[in-house]
Amino acid sequence: MAEYKGDPVVVIGLGRFGTSLALELTRRGTEVLAIDSRPKITQSLAGRITQIATADATDIEALRQLGVSDFYQAVVAVGSDIEASILTTSLLVELEINDIWAKAISTQHGRILSRIGAHHVVFPEHDMGERVAHLVSGRMLDYMQVDDDFALAKTTPPKEYVGIPLGQSNLRRKYGVTIVAVKPSGEEFTYATAETELSYGDVVLVSGRTEQVERFAELP
C-alpha cells in the first residue's frame, strides 16, 4: 500500500497545467483525485494518478458523489473555459473546501475567482513567460519570483566578487542582494557563509528585490 504525504488534493481539469500538477503531486507522494469531463484524457492517465474520474465538475451532485467535499485542498486547473472555471470554483466554495487554488488566464478572471472565494489564484502562463523572459534576456540560469518584489535567481558570480570572502565583499550594501548558496564546479550546493570565497565556474543562488537581483545578474 502506498504511503501518502500531506493532505489529499483534488485537481479539476486535466489540460497541460492540471496534468503536470496532478502527476507531480502523485510523484511526491500526495494522494490525488483528478477529475476531467473528457474520457479520452482520463483514460490516458489511468494508473498514473492515485484516483481519476470522468465527471462534469460544474455539477455539484457529481462532485458530492466523488467525495470532493471530504477533501481539504482543491485546485481548479480548468483552462480556457472561464465560465466552467468560475462555476467550479463557486461549487467548491459551496462544498466548504478549506483551501481552494484556481488557475486564471487573465487579471479580470483572477479577480473574479478571488471574489467568489478562491483562496489562491495562479497565473501559470504569465508566470512561466516572466521566468523564461529573465532566462532569455540575461545571464541567469534559473529564476523564481518569490513575491511581488522579491526574487531568487541562479547565476554565475561577477568577476569583481571572485576570490573575495563574502563577508568582506560589501555585496548587500552595494547591490542589496544576498548570496544564499554556492555550487562549486562539479560539487553540490552548500550554504554561503561570511568566509565563502567564490571562484570562476561556481553557480550561486542570490536573493533580493527583483530589480536588484536583475541588476546583479547582469554584472560582468
pTM listed for this prediction: 0.67
Find the mean pLDDT for residues 198-208: 92
Pairwise CA distance, residues 207 & 180, whole Å? 7
Q: What cell numbers appear for 51 in the block?
A: 484516483
User: Exposure pattern of 116-150 as b/e (b: 16+ CB <10 Å)?
Assistant: eebeebbbbeeeeeebeebeeeeebeebebeeeee
Q: How far is CA 200 from the centre of its chain?
A: 31
Find the mean pLDDT for residues 61-80: 93
Residue ranges and CATH numbers for the domains of the chain are: 9-122 (3.40.50.720), 138-218 (3.30.70.1450)
Beta bridge partners of residue 165, listed in sequence order: 197
Strand order in the sheet with 142-147: 142-147, 150-155, 203-208, 177-183, 190-191
pLDDT at 27: 86
Kindly report the average pLDDT of the chain as a whole number: 89
pLDDT at 1: 35
pLDDT at 195: 94
CA distance readout (Å), 15 to 40, 64, 76, 83, 108: 12, 23, 11, 16, 21
For the chain, first and last CA: distance in Å?
53
pLDDT at 137: 58
pLDDT at 80: 79
User: Do 164 and 217 touch, CB atoms closer than 8 A?
Assistant: no
Place 44 in a pLDDT band, splitting at 50, 70 and 90.
Answer: very high
pLDDT at 11: 95
Could you read off the pLDDT of 108-139 as tens digits, one per residue? Answer: 999 999 999 999 998 887 777 667 666 765 67
Beta bridge partners of residue 120, listed in sequence order: 101
Find the mean pLDDT for residues 58-85: 94
- Closest to 10 in 3D by CA, of 67, 56, 93, 60: 67
Using a pLDDT cut of 70, give the percent of the chain over it.
Answer: 93
